[in-house]
Each structure stands twice: as structure tokens, then as C-alpha cells.
Amino acid sequence: MAIHEGEPRRENERSVTVYFDLMRHSNRFAGKGEWTDPMTGEVFKWDDTENLTPEGKKVAQDYGANQLPEDVDFVVSVASREPRAGETAGDIESGSKQGKRSLGPNTLKGVTYKELSPDASKVLKVAKPLIEVEAAKHPSYGRLDQETRSKVRQTAQEVGLRYAIENEGMRKEIAEVEAFNLWLLRDMARGAQKGTDKSFKTAMPIVTHGLFNEALLLEALDIIDEESGERRKAKDVDELGGFFAPAESFRIKLENDGKSEKYEYGFVNPERQKKFTGKRLELDWSRIKELAQDYEKRTTPDAKPLVS
């Protein structure tokens, strides 16, 4: 993971390390749907939940058991308001070997599709049918069992996610809300130093949905060539390695020793991280601040800013 020196901190503060994992929720069921057999004309309807599948729960628990840093004292998971995100966060905690200090599933603000602006919602209204059309190409889609159907739909999601993220306004909006929450969580981690005289290390999975993490990284992730020092943003989601798979994440390690702040960045999936061999990854916190402030100006223009 790349190391980046950040802002200086006051010497009287204790040592704190926080691993922020920006992640997509784990595998879920397909939800409500309908499919017409193109050969027979027979219509199939289903009303599956959008909760995690048994595989999704296992993947999240395995993440807690095997992919969180081993040196942390606590796991403090946060998630969007959607049950599948909160369920993912809870399963990560239950699978972890460390102590748990859950903040509950309602900590994050605005990071669900239902909370987007009317303009972004219009984009989603086009994107969702694209997913259903793609999934319906499976020759037995409506006849599949729930878990198999969920896997088919999950694969089909990429066409809708790609349509949405290629819309500049949509991408900017979802990057703003992701940046806003990340900024406040970083502030919270810094403020926690004042609550006790003991040093600590915490893992903080931040569970959202497809598009949110990718949009933030497209807007604020710098890719730096180790030899030339050239710094640039990814031109598209493919340069990031594609959309996040369920329970896949990007890790931000924040270390504060009371004198300075140090960051490390990288994808937890080693195969994705390999794509950046010879490169260093850094988040542009000035850009994150801009995005977070734009979110506040757009959603709460008359309120006292939380990001300053």
C-alpha cells in the first residue's frame, strides 16, 4: 500500500490507527422481478428479498475473519440505511476476531439510491431496466432458484452501473455524498483521541453500494508513477480494475502518532492491486473536501457547514 504523509497533528494527542475500508455490500438476492420465456411465452414472477444470500453472509463473515488487519483492537462497522448494507456490516463484525463497537446501520447519510436527487434518480430509472434486460437473456432466468437467479442478476448489473457512472452529473453527485461521509468519519476518528488516554487501532468497514466507491475514486484517487512521478486520475472505471465485486473494498490506513498523520492506500483484493504495480495510490483530500462541501451546499444550503 502506498504511504503518504498528511497534515501535522498536535503533540499531546495519543496514537490512533484507523483502517477505513470503502466497500460494496455482499451478495444479495435479486428482489422483485418478472420474466417471459421467449420460447413459450410463459410469464414468471417472483418477489425475492434484497437481503444477503447465504453465500453473501458467508463472504461477509469471511471478510471479517480473514481480510481485516490482524493488529486492530476493535471493529467499528458503518453502513447505509439499506438492510443489505447493514447486514453486511453486522456479518463482518460477527466473523471478526476482534472486539465489536457497532455504530449501527443508520450512520451514513445519503448513500442509497433512494436518497439521490431527482436528476440522478432519472439516470437510475434508465439504468435499472438495462440490468433486467441483460439478466433476462439467461435462457432459464425465471425458472432459476433464488440463489442462482441472484448470481445472474449480479453479473447483469454491470451494464446498468456502467450507464450510470458514465453520466458526469450522476458520478459527481454520488462522489459528493461518499466524500461527505468519509470526511466526517475521519473527523470522528481524530476526535476519538480525546476520549481516552490509551492508544488504539480500529478497523472501520464503510459499507455502501455499487457506484459510490468507484465514483469517489474516479474523482479523488491519484495514480502516481513510481519512476516518473507523474500524477493523474483514472480515466474510467476500467482503469480502476472494473466495478467492485460484492464485499470488495479499498483500504485507507490512517496513522496518527500525535506529531504527524500518515496514510496508506490500496485495494484489499490482491488481484486488483496488482494492476497498480509500479504505481502509488493516494487520495486527494483537498478534492474530497471540495466534493463534501459541494454536497452540503446542494442538500443543506442554509445549515451550518459540517465540513470546513
Residue type, 61: Q
**Pair 89, 79: CB distance under 8 Å:** yes
Please give the CATH topology (third level) of the domain spanning 2-29+50-112+168-299. Answer: Rossmann fold (3.40.50)
CA distance 189 to 177: 19
The per-residue pLDDT for 8 is 46
Percent of the chain with pLDDT over 70: 91
User: Is 259 or 110 the better-scoring residue by pLDDT?
Assistant: 110
Q: Are strands 200-208 and 74-75 parallel, antiparallel or unpaired?
A: parallel
- How confident is the model over 204-233, as a mean pLDDT? 97
What nine digits make up the cell of 204?
Answer: 472501520
Q: Are strands 43-47 and 32-36 parallel, antiparallel or unpaired?
A: antiparallel
CA distance 199 to 256: 10
The per-residue pLDDT for 197 is 67
What nine digits make up the cell of 82?
Answer: 439499506
pTM over 0.85: yes
Position 300 pLDDT exceeds 80: yes
Position 262 pLDDT exceeds 70: yes
- How confident is the model over 119-131, as a mean pLDDT? 97
Domain boundaries, the chain: 2-29+50-112+168-299
To the nearest 5 percent, what fractions of the chain are helix, strand and coil? Answer: 45, 25, 35
**At 81, phi and psi to the nearest 5?**
-80, -10
The per-residue pLDDT for 196 is 58
Give the CA distances from residue 98 to residues 76, 89, 197, 214, in Å, rounded to whole numbers and listed in that order: 10, 14, 20, 28
CA distance 135 to 158: 10
Position 9 pLDDT exceeds 60: no
- How confident is the model over 296-306, as a mean pLDDT? 95
Q: What is the pLDDT of residues 240-260, one digit of tens each?
A: 999 999 999 999 999 987 778
**Pair 36, 266: CB distance under 8 Å:** no
Position 70 pLDDT exceeds 80: yes
Count of CB atoms within 10 A of residue 15's CB? 14
CA distance 68 to 97: 9
> Which of 33-42, 46-55, 105-114 comes out lowest in average pLDDT?
105-114
**Counts for the chain of helices (H) and strands (E), in that order:** 8, 13
Strand order across the 279-283 sheet: 231-233, 221-225, 279-283
Closest CA to 190 of 260, 109, 285, 264: 260
What nine digits make up the cell of 194?
Answer: 480525546
- How confident is the model over 17-46, as a mean pLDDT? 96
Q: Is 229 left (phi over 0), alpha (psi -120 to 50) or beta?
A: left
Position 11 pLDDT exceeds 70: no
Q: What is the CA radius of gyration of the chain?
A: 20
Location of C-alpha cell 455502501 = 208
The per-residue pLDDT for 200 is 85
The per-residue pLDDT for 97 is 85
**Pair 106, 80: CB distance under 8 Å:** no
Position 13 pLDDT exceeds 90: no
Q: What's the longest Cα–Cα distance across the chain?
A: 74
Q: What is the pLDDT of residues 134-179, one digit of tens each?
A: 999 999 999 999 999 999 999 999 999 999 999 999 999 999 999 9
